[in-house]
Amino acid sequence: MSLPSAAELMRAAEIETALDDWALDHVGTPERLLTTFVNDLNQPSNLHPRGEVRFYRFLMDILTSRLKYVADRKRHPGWRDETVKAPIFILGLPRSGTTFLHNLLGSDPLNRAPRLFEMHYPSPRADDAFTRGLRETKCQERLGDLGLLDDDWLGVHPMGADRAEECLFFWELLLASATFTALAELPTYQEILFQQDFRAIYREQRDFLKYLQHGLPPRRWVLKTPLHVRFLEEIIEVFPDAMFIHCHRDTAKIYPSIANMATVLHSKFAAAAPGEKSIVGDYDDTWEKALEFRQRPGMAERFVDVRFLDFRADPIGTVRSIYSRLGLEFSEDRAAAMEAWLANDSSERSGRAHHQYSLADIGMTEADIDRISGDYLKAFDVPLER
């Protein structure tokens, strides 16, 4: 079995939705990326049979959501008059506490973090409880269909329709997301993905945030993905008043955790284990570029560093420090909302198995870690967990 061609998939989505306008203002139409994506997926031995079915449903869901989103933006053009003010971008390697911090900051009633169901199913963007509930249910069903509510995956990365999630899930609608490369080996797609003009992708993301906030009380956006650290130039061009939180953790913990995460994800779709690129290759020199960027005039005060061990020991104290550094008020109401989220998250985690991993699992030693990333650990004074 092989997946239909990009043209066939797009035509099927047009028939299903009775819509045919794919074009977004900054990235245009998705044919080129989708064609490369599907061609990579159809390489021999890439996907197992269940993975093929999952990817077909996944792609059809993305394409129909894209068409509905484009149509809804045209029906409600008032979103274009919105502005996105001083968003916060969370940076850092995977497994460094970025997801936990994102959800914690997203629980602040004066902040807003995109929810997974909003990125999977942005349209119709109705705010009544019934319509929102339908979108959340559909999102939860998608997660189940993809195997992302299985115990082995939830032990690695908690997921749910109403959880704050990273920007890569919106980028899926653009067919320009590294989430795809986390699910299967897509060498050609990955190559052309990072050849894209990410200024255009961030402009689309800005438009998406304006679309989501249209007609609602203003709140500060909190955004997150490890890949943001690659694109600080692009972010500042599109969001000139952006602020940044950079999370850090001992890479002796990060690299085997990433490898374990990649192995679990691949098992849901692919016949073969992930390649070495899934462990360290995507994040090699990003810290050096970030450090250089921060040395530019006016940039240092926009960045706050968060060390994983400090954050884990005192989440609320860490957030209080972040807000102070960024010049934001930290009221008791905001603290209470975060405390409530922490209590609920702790309750959910208590019955869930946590994934186990070690450096030996990926054939590395502490000496290897120091050779690869020792300069990073020293540059940011990262406490070791060995």
Superfamily of domain 6-379 in the CATH hierarchy:
P-loop containing nucleotide triphosphate hydrolases (3.40.50.300)
Confidence of residue 275 (pLDDT cuts 50, 70, 90): low
Among the listed residues 351, 353, 352, 348, the one whose alpha carbon sits nearest the alpha carbon of residue 162 = 348
Buried b (16+ CB within 10 A) or exposed e, 248-269: bbbbbbbbbbbbbbbbbbbbbb
Among the listed residues 204, 233, 201, 228, the one whose alpha carbon sits nearest the alpha carbon of residue 282 = 228
Contact 22, 70 (CB under 8 A): yes
pLDDT digits (tens, 9 = 90+) for 322-360: 999 999 999 999 999 999 999 999 888 776 666 677 788
Full-model pTM: 0.94
Contact 385, 253 (CB under 8 A): yes
Q: Where are the beta strands (DSSP E) in 211-299?
A: 220-224, 243-248
pLDDT digits (tens, 9 = 90+) for 176-189: 999 999 899 899 99
Average pLDDT over residues 186-202: 95
At residue 197, the pLDDT reads 96
